[in-house]
Structure 1
Amino acid sequence: MNRACRHSILVLCGLAFLSGCADDPYQKTKIGAALGGLIGAGTGAAIDSKNRGRGAAIGAAVGVLAGGGVGLYMDKQKKAIEEQLSKELANHDVELRKLPDNSIEVDLKSEASFASGNSDVKPSFSNALAKLGGVVKQYDSTMVHVIGHTDSQGSDSFNQQLSERRATAVANSLTSAGVDPSRVRSEGRGEAQPEASNVTAEGRSQNRRVEIYLKPVVEGKEQEALQTPK
């Protein structure tokens, strides 16, 4: 039996198993999550050859959401993060917002999370990342993109490397808290995308940050979840 036949049989078996949930108002979302691996395997074949590995990763470890359930799913995830990080949000060490595409942006302020010029997460902030990872672990129909940024102090190469190391440190903290590594992408952008002027100390402080984007994996649009936010 070839791979395509095996995949078709698995899909049919999965649908048969879930057909008993017809009275469940969240049936579509549950079907999307339960068949994430099967749908993802088909999606992987549709992605160009250099990205097939990433397409397969979606199928292996990430659930898939039906379109109608995305907003509610991400709202629940955002509320759970707010509850777990209430102290950090009140202190403005973390900022949280939901974006128009239903993604969630979590901004970590550098002063709270890292010492100056250092890429080791401060011990005082480790618990915050552990709590965040605990929530993200439960909402496995999201991909996680971690992006590091710096101010313009220092050389371009130093800032680029620092931003990469900090993004990796945050990503590692999330996976240590139980988030599947195949769901997580990290990169650094150095000083290239400032949020404020680097002329003032206040502006430089705003530019030193790590951003985490939680992107929903939506049925039929799985590849969009793999695209790193601009």
Structure 2
Amino acid sequence: MRKYIATLLAVLLTSVPMFAQTVDEHAKTKKGAVIGGIAGAIAGAVIDNNRGHRSAKRGAVVGGVAGAAAGAIVGAMMDRQERELRQIQGVNVTRTAPGELNVSVQNEVLFDFNSSALRSSSRASLQQMADVFQKYPDTTLSVQGHTDSIGSAAYNQRLSERRADSVAGYLQDLGVRSSRIQTIGYGKSQPRATNSTAAGRQLNRRVEIHVRANA
């Protein structure tokens, strides 16, 4: 059975680079289908292992088909969500995995300097984000606050937490379920750029929302 699974994995994994190189708008849906197929094939083979070699093969095939279908559905959902989030002004979206997105919002869009109170001008963007998140409810959201290196570590930690809480609270006020949201502040510990320049510090002052498809 191990040999069979190893052979199946080799075939499926050989397909991943082909899908990854696809440049059309469905590339990540295809990649999600491949990954889902791999997971499903392994699960199916393991579950049916005790029934004998033929059952293991059958379980791998059935599991692979089911996993591929589930992966394709998740990938398509995340493709659509990514496209819609990219339309929002002041928002940067990165696809970090077939079932994960990272949405980054610069603090200058959300907050005044040294403040965790949301600017009135930021509310339209957050409303659009909330609309997208409610449209695709089968995801969890991790709202993460970040700062530059100016000020003490303790102060920046508290500020990053308050800013994450402000964004999460407003999304909840707009109708996003609180059970989908968690918040965390990283202070100045995870810079995206150098803190030695004004431009770098601006990039580091941000709130990120990690969007993950539910399993």
Q: In structure 1, how many angstroms separate the alpha carbons of the residues matched to 2:203 and 2:98? A: 24
In the alignment, structure 1 residue 82 sits paired with structure 2 residue 79: no
Identical-residue share of aligned pairs (%): 38
Q: In structure 2, how many angstroms separate the alpha carbons of the residues matched to 1:80 and 1:200? A: 32
Q: In structure 1, how many angstroms separate the alpha carbons of the residues matched to 2:193 and 2:86? A: 26
Counterpart contact for 2:75–2:98, Cα < 8 Å: no
Q: In structure 2, how many angstroms separate the alpha carbons of the residues matched to 1:66 and 1:111? A: 39
| TM value normalised by structure 1 | 0.61
| TM value normalised by structure 2 | 0.66
Counterpart contact for 2:145–2:185, Cα < 8 Å: yes
Equivalence for 2:77: 73
What is the letter of the counterpart of residue 211 of structure 2?
A: L
Q: Matches of residues 33-182 of structure 1 in structure 2 within 5 Å?
A: 66-83=70-87, 85=88, 88=89, 93-182=90-179
Deviation at 1:114, TM superposition (A): 0.7
Q: 1:185 aligns with which of 175, 178, 182?
A: 182
What is the letter of the counterpart of residue 107 of structure 2?
A: S
What is the letter of the counterpart of residue 145 of structure 1?
A: S
What is the letter of the counterpart of residue 78 of structure 1?
A: E
Using CA pairs under 8 Å that are at least 6 residues apart, name the structure with larger relative contact order, 1 or 2.
1
What is the letter of the counterpart of residue 158 of structure 2?
A: Q
Instruction: Count how many residue pairs are aligned between Structure 1 and Structure 2.
Output: 147
Q: Which entry has the higher C-alpha Rg, 1 or 2?
A: 2
Counterpart contact for 2:130–2:174, Cα < 8 Å: yes
Q: In structure 1, how many angstroms separate the alpha carbons of the residues matched to 2:91 and 2:85? A: 11
After superposition, give the CA deviation of every residue in 1:66-118 in whole Å (9 maximum; x if it has no partner).
333110011111122234x1xx1xxxx22112122431111000111110100
SS at match of 1:191: coil
Point out where structure 1 has 5 or more consecutive residues left out of the alignment: 1-64, 219-230
User: RMSD between aligned alpha carbons?
Assistant: 1.4
Point out where structure 2 has 5 or more consecutive residues left out of the alignment: 1-68
Q: In structure 2, how many angstroms separate the alpha carbons of the residues matched to 1:156 and 1:113? A: 21
What is the letter of the counterpart of residue 152 of structure 1?
A: S
Deviation at 1:181, TM superposition (A): 0.3
Q: In structure 2, how many angstroms separate the alpha carbons of the residues matched to 1:177 and 1:67? A: 30
Deviation at 1:122, TM superposition (A): 0.6
SS at match of 2:97: coil
